[in-house]
Amino acid sequence: MTATVTTSGSRAIEVRDLHKTFGKNEVLKGIDFHVDSGQVVCVIGPSGSGKSTLLRCVNRLEEPTSGRILVEGIDITDPETDLDAVRSRIGMVFQQFNLFPHMSVLKNLTIAQKRVKKRSTAEAVEIARRNLAKVGLAEREDAYPAHLSGGQQQRVAIARALSMDPDMMLFDEPTSALDPELVGDVLAVMKDLASEGMTMMVVTHEMGFAREVGDKLVFMDGGVIVEEGDPREVLASPQHERTQAFLSKVL
Amino acid sequence: MKRSTRRRINHAALYALLGAVVLVVVFAVDWASVRNNFWADGQHDNWRDLITTGVVNTARYTAIAFAGGLTLAFALALMKLSPIRIYRWIATAYVEFFRGLPALIVILVMAFGVPIAFQWTPPGGPVGAGVVGLIMVAGAYMAETLRAGIQSVPKGQAEAARSLGMSGPRTMVSIVIPQAVRIVIPPLTNEFVLLIKDTALLFVVGMLVGQRELTTIARDFMASGSTAGTATSLTQAALLYLIITLPLTRLVAWLEKKQQRAR
């Protein structure tokens, strides 16, 4: 059974009335949210606002308590859905990079291509090298993650996700664990991706990135979406007082 | 009095105490008797059997028990991490049961109790059954080591693999277990050393001449042969055990140090 649900064809991610509870703690209290194909949506908010949980629900690293999540029209909360197949089309970048430390950079980029996409080694290596070049690390393919800086590791992680030819990318605070001087390189790679038309959902504290690259800005607080809209407008003149309070602290 | 002077006097007192104890031992002990009982003439006749039969069989029983125990432990560890509750219960019950028993009891039950109760002839006779007993005990201990190793791999590793579309089992095999293995090698080497020493317990089951391991042979030489009536053969067996175990415990120390540096 395929779990396709008719929806406007350009919806990459659609979240309907999403609730998520950890024990007695309700982290998401009914989220309606969508990302259109080719859009860059930035999600901001104080820690504990539920923004990372929302992102992690989109590829079901977190199990939603209730509600529906459609990825390219496929209901990923349906138990009949082949989750691995859907996930292989959603690239994910983590705050802590999560590179595989026992593998070289090249192996990090090829293992899922070979195991999931069943690509030949030659093809996987070629694609991996292309993506390493794209993030500016072509010469580090034999290095191990421990020998790379945080910024380099995160760029490798982006290249790893891109090597699966994803239709969209999820970024979970991709620059929060980086030393300030390394943030720029990672943001530059993300800007390149956005300009190529990649669909992106970015949980971030980088307001500059949101303003410059984002098509939509979502402000979350206390498990709900408080305000959303054009990033430049929201950042310049936030309507809701909670948004104002948050922005006055971070800007 | 100055602090440094007091410290020097304290140290001198400690050295003097040690010297006194050594002197008492050297003069009070009857060294001729020690030598006659623990290193009697004729000990050369014992080496051949101790090494060609004893060490070989000790190594063989250890290898079998370790391989079997590791396999069992791996199954138990996966059961302990299973999403299905009944598997977790079974594994937990098994581990708690066998960790709570003396290995000697398990060996005796396997070698004598079970064959009588079920009219079963274990492969290799009582020794084979005793080795199975060692496997059951070692499996329980190593299961905990493996479980801890698997759980010490950061959760983000599995999440990264799953987010790339890898299945649960594939993630386990390609991402989690290779990292867990590195973590558990030092503690597993420790378990291996413990197992070498535990094969000595097998002497209680009785063995054919060719099946005897180090401790059994050493005991036989206490009753017959050119050092009969002395503990010489036990000293020899002890030396052989140390020759095997000391390099391994040094290896563990080295591996642990290396791992700490890598972190």
- pLDDT at residue B149 above 80? yes
Instruction: Return left, alpha or beta for A123; rule: phi > 0 is left, psi -120 to 50 is alpha, else beta.
Output: alpha
What is the ipTM for the molecules in this complex? 0.92
Shortest CA gap B17–chain A (Å): 51
Q: What is the pLDDT of residue A102?
A: 92
Residue A61: which of B163, B179, B182 has the nearest Cβ? B163
- pLDDT at residue B186 above 60? yes
Mean pLDDT of B188-194: 94
Q: Return the SS3 of A45.
A: coil
Helices A150-162 and A121-134 pack at an angle, to 10 degrees, of 130
Determine the residue type at B22.
V
Q: Which residues of A touch B164 (CB under 8 A)?
A: 87-88, 92, 112, 116, 160-161, 164
Residue A112: which of B159, B165, B178 has the nearest Cβ? B165
Q: What is the pLDDT of residues A20-37, one digit of tens each?
A: 999 999 999 999 999 999
Shortest CA gap A220–chain B (Å): 24
Q: What is the pLDDT of residues A113-163, one digit of tens each?
A: 999 999 999 999 999 999 999 999 999 999 999 999 999 999 999 999 999
How far is residue B246's CA from residue B176's CA, in Å, rounded to a whole number?
31
How far is residue B103's CA from residue B252's CA, in Å, rounded to a whole number?
24
Shortest CA gap A248–chain B (Å): 33
Q: What is the pLDDT of residue A192?
A: 95
Q: In chain B, what percentage of residues exceed pLDDT 90?
A: 76
Q: Residue A107: which residues within 8 A CB-CB, separation 6 or more?
A: A100
Assess B259–A contact: CB distance below 8 Å, yes or no.
Answer: no
Round the average pLDDT of chain B to a whole number and report it. Answer: 92
Q: Residue B122: which residues within 8 A CB-CB, separation 6 or more?
A: B110, B111, B114, B115, B128, B129, B132
Q: Which two tokens stand for residue A245?
A: 């309070």
- pLDDT at residue A194 above 80? yes
Q: What is the pLDDT of residues A83-119, one digit of tens each?
A: 999 999 999 999 999 999 999 999 999 999 999 999 9
Residue A116: which of B160, B164, B179 has the nearest Cβ? B164
Determine the residue type at A165.
D
- Where residue A7 falls among pLDDT bands split at 50, 70, 90? very low
Binary contact (A164, B164; C-beta < 8 A): yes
Shortest CA gap B174–chain A (Å): 9
For A218, list phi and psi in degrees, rounded to 5.
Answer: -120, 125
Q: Return the SS3 of A144.
A: coil
Testing the interface with A: which of B163, B173, B174, B259 to mutate, by most A Cβ within 10 A? B163
Q: Return the SS3 of A163.
A: coil
- pLDDT at residue A251 above 50? yes
For A170, list phi and psi in degrees, rounded to 5.
Answer: -110, 130
How far is residue B50's CA from residue B52's CA, in Å, rounded to a whole number?
6
Q: Which of B220, B223, B262 is nearest to B237 (CA)?
A: B220
| Rg of chain A, C-alpha, whole Å | 18
Mean pLDDT of A72-78: 93
Q: What is the pLDDT of residues B102-115, one digit of tens each?
A: 999 999 999 998 88
Q: What is the dihedral angle through the alpha carbons of A193, A199, A204, A208, rounded to the nearest 10 degrees? A: 60
Q: What is the pLDDT of residues A198-216, one digit of tens each?
A: 999 999 999 999 999 999 9
Element (DSSP H or E) covering residue B80: helix B56-80
Q: What is the pLDDT of residues A228-250, one digit of tens each?
A: 999 999 999 999 999 999 999 88
Q: What is the pLDDT of residue A1?
A: 42
Q: Residue A146: which residues within 8 A CB-CB, separation 6 or more?
A: A101, B262
Residue A98: which of B159, B166, B174 has the nearest Cβ? B159
- pLDDT at residue A5 above 70? no
Binary contact (A100, B170; C-beta < 8 A): no
Q: What is the pLDDT of residue A6?
A: 44
Residue B174: which of A84, A98, A111 has the nearest Cβ? A111
Determine the residue type at B136.
M
How far is residue B244's CA from residue B250's CA, in Å, rounded to a whole number?
11
- Where residue A52 falls among pLDDT bands split at 50, 70, 90? very high
Q: Which residue has the tokens 């430390």?
A: A101
- Where residue B258 falls among pLDDT bands split at 50, 70, 90? confident
Determine the residue type at A231.
P
pTM for the model stands at: 0.81
Q: What is the pLDDT of residues B209-249, one digit of tens each?
A: 889 999 999 999 999 888 888 999 999 999 999 999 999 99
Contact B69, B135 (CB under 8 A): yes
Q: What share of chain A is helix, strand, coil (3-state, %, to 5)?
A: 40, 25, 35
Q: Which residue has the tokens 């009753």?
A: B223
Q: Residue A46: which residues within 8 A CB-CB, separation 6 or more?
A: A221, A246
Cα B51 to Cα B126, B145, B237, distances in angstroms: 22, 32, 9
How far is residue B75's CA from residue A40's CA, in Å, rounded to a whole number?
46
Q: Residue B213: which residues within 8 A CB-CB, separation 6 or more?
A: B54, B57, B58, B61, B199, B200, B202, B203, B207
Contact B121, B129 (CB under 8 A): no
Shortest CA gap A88–chain B (Å): 4
